[in-house]
Amino acid sequence: MVRQTVRPFMFLQNQMKPMDKNYAPILLFVYNRPAHTRNIVESLLANSLAGQSELFIFSDEAKDESSRSAVDEVRKYIRRIKGFKEIHITERNENWGLAKSIIAGVSEIIETYEKVIVLEDDLIVAPFFLKFMNDALTVYQNEPKVGHIQACDFTQAAGLPDTFLIKWTGSWGWATWKRAWKHFNPDGKALLAELERRKLTYTFDFNGKYGYTRMLRRQTEGKNNSWAIRWNASLFLDDILSLNVGKSLVQNNGFDGSGTNCGGGGLYASNLYMHELPVKAIRPIEENMQARQAYVSYYARTNSFLAKAIRRIKRTLKGDFGA
């Protein structure tokens, strides 16, 4: 019998109970994109473990009246969802924004459940996504040097192993444990200062090929509100690795102009791997430097001045005059 609860955040906080420890709860963050929300839920339901997993949905309030009808449509849809072990819906009564919602949601649920799988509404997952994430959470649950699991590969680099360890955290379909989330430092200024003090910005930026340090600096200046860059920097500074995949179990459909981050032009496209992806313990626990070089090469190819200029020209020719 599927039990569905819809209650304010404070009530949810007081009513939670530990779940079957075999399967991590799924945290889904939604806002004003009903079609995207439907797609991610349907792709989750195609996973055999959906019926044995609890789903926590966090629905943000409309930022303004122009978003009201879309937010209401999303909320009408999520109240009708079936197919999960239990469904808990948190409807905010004010607009929190994605960063605050994710930080609060993960912090709250992980305190009771000790591990979480986190998704946003613009993602699509493969049929074996939940099995992979739960297997990885089990295999590495007692390994303090691994703090994050990422199931999306957008590099499409030839030769990447099925799974590998890297000092970088992706945010499109990820999981973590309570023990690792304790490393999260929301203070971007402190993180930036430490990266600069230890002269780690070049490495943090994949040998200067992508501006992660710039992204963090912009967060400290209030020019973005990224939780992900702070999570990335937190684990990086503590020398904690992420388990990543060479075959993508997640696809990001958010670069269509519907969200805060849009207009990727296929830059972060990924092909869903539709088969089971086994999880084997990697030994020794150390960064795969060939995989890191694949990311360096990817960013060197896609983030150069010439590559950016070509993308801008293509977008202009298509009538996209955005930044």
Residues 153 and 266 in one domain: yes
Residues 52 and 100 in one domain: yes
Least confident stretch, 1-15, 18-32, 103-117, 127-141: 1-15
Burial 227-256 (b: 16+ CB within 10 A, else e): bbbbbbbbbbbeebbbbbbbbbbbbbbbbe
**Collapsed DSSP state (helix, strand, coil) of residue 225:** coil
What pLDDT sits at residue 2? 44
What pLDDT sits at residue 257? 53
Neighbours of 141 (CB within 10 A): 12
Predicted confidence band at 11 (pLDDT cuts at 50, 70, 90)? very low
The answer to the question of residue 146 being in a domain is: yes
Predicted confidence band at 110 (pLDDT cuts at 50, 70, 90)? very high
Let me know the angle formed at the C-alpha of 265 by 260 and 270, rounded to the nearest 5 degrees. Answer: 95
The answer to the question of residue 214 being in a domain is: no
Q: Does the pLDDT at position 311 exceed 60?
A: no
Q: Does the pLDDT at position 15 exceed 50?
A: no
Q: Does the pLDDT at position 59 exceed 50?
A: yes
The answer to the question of residue 306 being in a domain is: yes
Asked if 257 and 263 count as a contact pair (C-beta separation under 8 A), the reply is yes
Q: Which of 5-9, 17-21, 254-258 has the highest mean pLDDT?
A: 254-258
Q: What is the pTM of this model?
A: 0.89
Q: Does the pLDDT at position 3 exceed 70?
A: no
What pLDDT sits at residue 20? 47
What are the CA-CA distances from residue 8 to residues 37, 59, 181, 222 (Å)? Answer: 20, 10, 24, 29
121, 139, 154 — which closes off a domain? 121
Residues 127 and 35 in one domain: no
Q: Does the pLDDT at position 33 exceed 70?
A: yes
The answer to the question of residue 178 being in a domain is: yes
pLDDT tens-digit series, residues 136-182: 999 999 999 999 999 999 999 999 999 999 999 999 999 999 999 99
Neighbours of 46 (CB within 10 A): 17
What pLDDT sits at residue 254? 80
The answer to the question of residue 257 being in a domain is: yes
Residues 132 and 55 in one domain: no
Predicted confidence band at 80 (pLDDT cuts at 50, 70, 90)? very high
Domain carrying residue 129: 122-183+240-323
What are the CA-CA distances from residue 110 to residues 58, 104, 125, 157 (Å)? Answer: 14, 10, 22, 33
Q: Return the H-helix or E-strand segment holding 61.
A: none
What pLDDT sits at residue 270? 81
Q: Does the pLDDT at position 207 exceed 70?
A: yes
Number of structural domains found in the chain: 2
Asked if 4 and 84 count as a contact pair (C-beta separation under 8 A), the reply is no
Average pLDDT, the chain: 89
**Which comes out higher in pLDDT, residue 2 or 244?**
244
The answer to the question of residue 199 being in a domain is: no
What are the CA-CA distances from residue 50 to residues 60, 84, 128, 156 (Å)? Answer: 23, 5, 10, 28
Q: In which residue are the tokens 């808990």 written?
A: 88
Predicted confidence band at 255 (pLDDT cuts at 50, 70, 90)? low
What pLDDT sits at residue 258? 55
What pLDDT sits at residue 96? 98
What pLDDT sits at residue 168? 98
